[in-house]
Amino acid sequence: MPGTDYRRAVSGGVTGAPVAGRSDLDRACRAALAAGATAPRVAVLGAGAGGLCAAIQLRTAGIDAVTVFEKSDGVGGTWRDNTYPGAACDVPSHLYSFSFASKPDWSRKYAPQPEILGYLESLVERYDLHQALRFGTEVTDATWDEGAGRWVLGLRDAAGRRSREEFDVVVSALGQLNRPYVPDIPGLEDFAGTVFHSARWNHDHDLRAERVGVIGIGASAIQFVPRVAEVARSTVLFQRSANYVAPRNDRVYPVWVRRVFTRFPWIQRMYRDSIYWRLEARFTLMRRDSRLGRMLAASFAKRLRPLTRRGLSEAALIPDYPPGCKRILIADDWYPTLLRPGVDVVTEPVDRVTARGVVTADGVEHPLDTLIFGTGFRTTEFLSPVRFTGRGGVDLDEVWRDGARAYLGLSVPGFPNLFMLYGPNTNLGHNSILFMIEQQVGYLVQLLQQQVVLGARAADVRNAAADRFDDEVQSAAAQTVWAEGCSSWYKDASGRITNNWTDHTTAYRRRLARPDLADWELLGT
């Protein structure tokens, strides 16, 4: 068992010895609970993919007292919020689903948003989560009560009523993509037309025959712009930087394929694995100045340059940064859309908005009826707007004033039994985020099981372990393509890479396979 010197820093009340193997730990935890050990009460924040995964795995491990707080009135998180036309996942669906909850009958390679949401909703029934879910309840703050050794959560229901509840463990599954970002453009409030963000699509608003402007051309815009351009009178794309858009090669799975996957789960598993390894191999591209990256950049430029003869500028088409520095996008209808009559790509910076439209830095006013923001999310603020106060009254925002960081992307010293899913440095540019979430949940479940077995009340990650991990991640980050010259949501304002995991996902899986108790201070009862 790694970290058997855990006894160095335990406070009173920690009685047992840690258990090594996963199944032995499972058994030992169940036995301890059956013998009257206190099961931790767990609050999960958010009922998106991460929150559902945590609730399922905790309950499967016998840790039943789980409450999932969800502000809205349904599960699904980002897949509930993002209903824009064309919304779909850009990771193949057989991998964009949980390994323990397969869906053999995905309709196509890249499932559309309603099917992904349906999958997440189906987990509620499949794992009997109804009792665990508390909808219409927002967690506003969480404060560590030193005396009780518990978290006190501030709650606000849909009617605005406030209350407080205590939990032993808080699992934040708020995600990185939950708070839409709208840039502060002068004059925006004066615009006389309709304005909305892609993650808050206004389905009541008819875009037919309208002059539509789109500010921000990233992963979301690449999906909704082709649908908008089909119906709008004109579409003006205000694009700050060009994207690498690779072919998507989406396809429907014929009925016989779905039947084979349903009848022979091992074939589906092999197919899923083949997707995983193919994506995993792409991490090579995430390394700084890679040969593959240079070759890809050259081949994109060669393929796209001929389009400049059809009225599109090089700035509109050819990225001025290496592939992977921002997310590589996939679409089959992007370049044909740019060539459509009525579609304009404007690469002049946006200067201001007027009542009539958008004015660019060259002084040209682009008249518009509707303005859509595809400007992404407030990604580097992580757990905001929930306010976390840890040991000694320390505010998490204060700890993170120089950029978010967390041990294994999961935990911050001074915040015992607070675990974050999809926390700092766990986003990916090359593989499925659900894989990362499963590793995080597997780790925290084991850490809680150890606490039950040991009779510990909580675990607080040691400063030295957290610093060591952060140094390692940041020095690896400097060797990645994300450190090269491009603006992206992977970095905070200072340029620190706060969002991405900087190695293969296999390395992450190894790191999280088993908690090293030497890295944790176990607090007694």
CB of 433 to ligand NAP, least distance (A): 8
CB of 466 to ligand NAP, least distance (A): 26
332 is an interface residue for ligand NAP by CB under 6 A = no
Stretch that binds ligand NAP, among 60-68, 216-224, 282-290, 364-372 (CB under 6 A): 216-224
Q: Are 43 and 169 in contact (CB under 8 A)?
A: yes
Nearer to ligand NAP, 218 or 515 (CB): 218
Nearer to ligand NAP, 218 or 414 (CB): 218
Among 149, 376, 390, 414, binds ligand NAP (CB under 6 A): 376
CB of 202 to ligand NAP, least distance (A): 16
319 is an interface residue for ligand NAP by CB under 6 A = no
Among 94, 211, 272, 327, binds ligand NAP (CB under 6 A): 327
Stretch that binds ligand NAP, among 204-212, 219-227, 253-261, 288-296 (CB under 6 A): 219-227
Compute the distance between CA of residue 81 and CA of residue 78 in angstroms, rounded to an integer: 5
Both tokens assigned to 500: 């991405």
CB of 481 to ligand NAP, least distance (A): 15
CB of 257 to ligand NAP, least distance (A): 22
What is residue 105's DSSP assignment?
T
CB of 19 to ligand NAP, least distance (A): 38
What is the CB-side half-sphere exposure of residue 475 using CA atoms within 13 A? Answer: 5
Nearest Cα to 524, choosing from 12, 8, 5, 40?
12
What is the CB-side half-sphere exposure of residue 263 using CA atoms within 13 A? Answer: 6
445 is an interface residue for ligand NAP by CB under 6 A = no
Among 25, 139, 215, 316, binds ligand NAP (CB under 6 A): 215
Query: Residue 287 pairs with which residues in a beta bridge?
Result: 480
Q: In 150-290, where does DSSP find H-type helix?
A: 221-231, 255-263, 265-281
Among 218, 226, 413, 442, binds ligand NAP (CB under 6 A): 218
Q: Are 208 and 386 in contact (CB under 8 A)?
A: no
Both tokens assigned to 279: 């994506």
Q: Are 375 and 182 in contact (CB under 8 A)?
A: yes
Distances from the Cα of 187 to the Cα of 75, 117, 437, angstroms: 36, 36, 41
Nearer to ligand NAP, 40 or 409 (CB): 409
Identity (one letter) of the amino acid at 479?
A: Q
What is residue 86's DSSP assignment?
T
Nearer to ligand NAP, 346 or 410 (CB): 346
Nearer to ligand NAP, 157 or 314 (CB): 314
CB of 23 to ligand NAP, least distance (A): 34
312 is an interface residue for ligand NAP by CB under 6 A = no
220 is an interface residue for ligand NAP by CB under 6 A = yes
Residue nearest to ligand NAP (CB): 218
Compute the distance between CA of residue 460 and CA of residue 467 in angstroms, rounded to an integer: 14
**Pattern of binders to ligand NAP over 240-279, x per CB under 6 A?**
xx--------------------------------------
Stretch that binds ligand NAP, among 22-30, 122-130, 224-232, 371-379 (CB under 6 A): 371-379
CB of 227 to ligand NAP, least distance (A): 13
Among 2, 21, 114, 183, binds ligand NAP (CB under 6 A): 183
- Dihedral over alpha carbons 166, 145, 512, 441 (to 10 degrees): 10
Nearest Cα to 456, choosing from 7, 59, 5, 1?
7
374 is an interface residue for ligand NAP by CB under 6 A = yes
Compute the distance between CA of residue 510 and CA of residue 516 in angstroms, rounded to an integer: 12
**Pattern of binders to ligand NAP over 82-121, x per CB under 6 A?**
------xxxx------------------------------
CB of 477 to ligand NAP, least distance (A): 17
Compute the distance between CA of residue 149 and CA of residue 154 in angstroms, rounded to an integer: 16
- Residues near 309 by beta carbon (within 8 Å), at least 6 away in sequence: none
> SS3 for 120?
helix
CB of 169 to ligand NAP, least distance (A): 28
Residues 337-356 that bind ligand NAP (CB under 6 A): 350
Q: Are 171 and 66 in contact (CB under 8 A)?
A: no
Among 53, 221, 353, 454, binds ligand NAP (CB under 6 A): 221
Compute the distance between CA of residue 170 and CA of residue 55 in angstroms, rounded to an integer: 12
Nearest Cα to 148, choosing from 398, 375, 388, 458?
458
Nearer to ligand NAP, 16 or 118 (CB): 118
489 is an interface residue for ligand NAP by CB under 6 A = yes
Residues 193-212 that bind ligand NAP (CB under 6 A): 198
CB of 475 to ligand NAP, least distance (A): 24
Phi then psi for residue 150, to 5 deg, are: -140, 165
> SS3 for 215?
strand
What is residue 402's DSSP assignment?
T
- Residues near 264 by beta carbon (within 8 Å), at least 6 away in sequence: none
Q: Binding residues for ligand NAP, how many (CB under 6 A)?
A: 25
Stretch that binds ligand NAP, among 48-56, 98-106, 145-153, 373-381 (CB under 6 A): 373-381
- Residues near 26 by beta carbon (within 8 Å), at least 6 away in sequence: 61, 62, 449
Compute the distance between CA of residue 101 and CA of residue 80 in angstroms, rounded to an integer: 19
Contacts to ligand NAP by CB under 6 A: 88-91, 177, 183, 198, 215-221, 240-241, 326-327, 350, 374-377, 487, 489
